[in-house]
Structure 1
Amino acid sequence: MIIMEYIDGKTSAAQLQNNLPENLAAQLSEILSVLHTGGDVFGDLRLPNIIVAKKQVKLIDFDWAGKVGLAKYPIHLARNISWPTGVMALGQIEKATTLTCYMA
């Protein structure tokens, strides 16, 4: 089960690129570890889908998330985004690809 919460504010990591928390990578690693330990993947790990509220990192937009082995990318992927290797229309969302999405 994934529990969602209301996050007060609209400060996305994309808007804070020069003022991101120093431990952003560590927080993301912890979030992904929790998801992966629970058998879940998050397939759209990009700055617009990361919210920073009171220096705490949170993920939003779980449309491309689900159980390992079941979650797939949508049929239409934005062409203006340089997706990591392995991301393709209707392709399976893998843990390894999830980790590299943030770097793209």
Structure 2
Amino acid sequence: MEHLGSSWVSLYDLSKGDSSGILRSQALRDGIKLHIDRIISILQEATMVHGDLRANNIMIRLDDQQQPVLLDPDSDDVAVKVVDFDWAGEAGMVRYPASRNEDIRGIRWPGLPGDEIEVQHDRELFESWWPSFSSL
């Protein structure tokens, strides 16, 4: 994360300090979701997992006016990166840590501590928190 620079902010931090209403735009939320869906699809096709795909590990690039950078000016495709690959690896070969925060509001972990992280778990985790997050 430290290699991204100061123009990147986590989706979690962006939502907490969103005084300008960036995330109120349905089009921008759709653009973020579309990008994350693509990332998950790429991981699934490669039978790889991230394992911890939460809002604090999804980074959004902001411009000088603190607005999301669009990859294409004619679309709402936002510049998104995923960070923190501590739990990542080949699906079924890596495991959730034995100790993790089970009390994060809105998160429904798809596996128990110590369980293998399966290829569908990234999507299940993302879909456990995204609907309530995106309706803020």
TM-score for the superposition, normalised by structure 1 = 0.82
Aligned partners of 1:85, 1:6: CA distance in 2, in Å?
A: 28
Determine if the alignment matches structure 1 residue 89 to structure 2 residue 113: yes
Q: Letter of the aligned partner of 2:10 in structure 1?
A: S
Q: How many residues align?
A: 101
- Structure 1 counterpart of 2:58: 50
How far apart are the structure 2 equivalents of 1:62 and 1:85?
A: 17
CA distance in 1, matches of 2:22, 2:119: 28
Displacement after TM superposition at 1:5 (Å): 9.3
How far is 1:42 from its partner?
Answer: 1.2
Identical counterparts, % of pairs: 29
Partner of 2:103: 80
On the 8 A contact 1:84/1:97 being kept in 2, the answer is: no
3-state SS of 2:56 partner:
helix
Please provide the CA RMSD for this pair.
2.2
Secondary structure, in 3 states, of the residue corresponding to 1:95?
A: coil
Larger mean CA deviation between 48-57 and 94-103 belongs to 94-103
Runs of 5+ unmatched residues, structure 2: 16-20, 62-68, 70-77, 130-136
Q: What SS does the corresponding residue of 2:86 show, helix, strand or coil?
A: helix
Q: CA deviation at 1:85?
A: 5.2
Counterparts of 1:77 and 1:59, CA distance in 2: 19
1:98 alignment counterpart? 122
- Larger Rg belongs to: 2
Structure that is richer in helix per residue? 2
Matched, 1:67 2:90: yes
Q: Write the distance in 2 (CA, Å) between the matches of 1:72 and 1:57.
A: 25
Unaligned stretches of 5+ residues in structure 1: none
Distance 1:5 1:25 in 2: 24
Whether the 8 Å contact between 2:59 and 2:81 is mirrored in structure 1 is yes
